[in-house]
Amino acid sequence: MRAKTTLILLGVVIVLFALVYAFEIRKPKDSQKGNKKVEVVLGIPETEINKIEIAYTTPKIATLTANKDDKGIWKSQPTNIKSDDIQKAIESSLGKYVYDTVKDPVGLREYGLDSPKVSVSFYFKDGTKKKVMIGKEVPIGNYVYVKEESNPEIYMIPASILEDFTKLISNIIVTGNE
């Protein structure tokens, strides 16, 4: 009876170790951040952005547009979201590291990018625009698939990028204020 209990406990410890290892191995190490440049989502400074449009499609459809005025204050439509909240969401999302890249993807459907949960269009001072689509969660780990519209590659980004944008429009979704 003792040998059986010991073997069961050993099995539980091995499974727990494997789970911890699987999740921790997927994170970039701090030493990697210090020694080499960690790739971020768009690689652009937030100061160059003067307008964003967020389209949330799941489970309800909601849209938010925010413009930066001459003083650098964000103004949103249709609701009045605090400028600081918009600023924090943009800074946080642009600072997300790219965990991995899917090169030469066959299609967008398997990544949830054919009808993304959230699409964010960034408009820059020079008149250009970049659209970022956020798809479904990666099966293992706390990441989501993200694609910049003009780039063929699909990135795996920490899933908190989804929360950065959905918390801005949660008032619209809950109250139906569009």
Residue type, 134: I
Q: Residue 155 in contact with residue 133, Cβ under 8 Å?
A: no
Tens of pLDDT along 9-53?
Answer: 888 889 887 777 766 655 544 434 443 444 666 677 778 888 988
What is the model's pLDDT at position 25?
57
Which residues are bridge partners to 120 per DSSP?
A: 54, 132
Q: Which residue has the tokens 């800074």?
A: 91
Distance CA 38, CA 36 (A): 6
Residue 34 or residue 55, greater confidence: 55
Region 151-169: what's the mean pLDDT? 82
What is the model's pLDDT at position 35?
39
Residue 138 or residue 77, greater confidence: 138
Name the band, by pLDDT with cuts 50, 70 and 90, for residue 63: confident
What is the model's pLDDT at position 171?
54
Q: How far is CA 83 from CA 67, 78, 143, in A?
A: 10, 14, 27
Which residues are bridge partners to 147 per DSSP?
A: 133, 154
> 80: which 2 tokens?
């009045």
What is the model's pLDDT at position 125?
87
Q: How far is CA 73 from CA 9, 83, 88, 107, 124, in A?
A: 58, 6, 12, 39, 15
Region 165-173: what's the mean pLDDT? 66
Task: Assess whether pLDDT exceeds 80 at residue 89.
Answer: yes
Task: Assess whether pLDDT exceeds 50 at residue 135.
Answer: yes
What is the model's pLDDT at position 59?
62
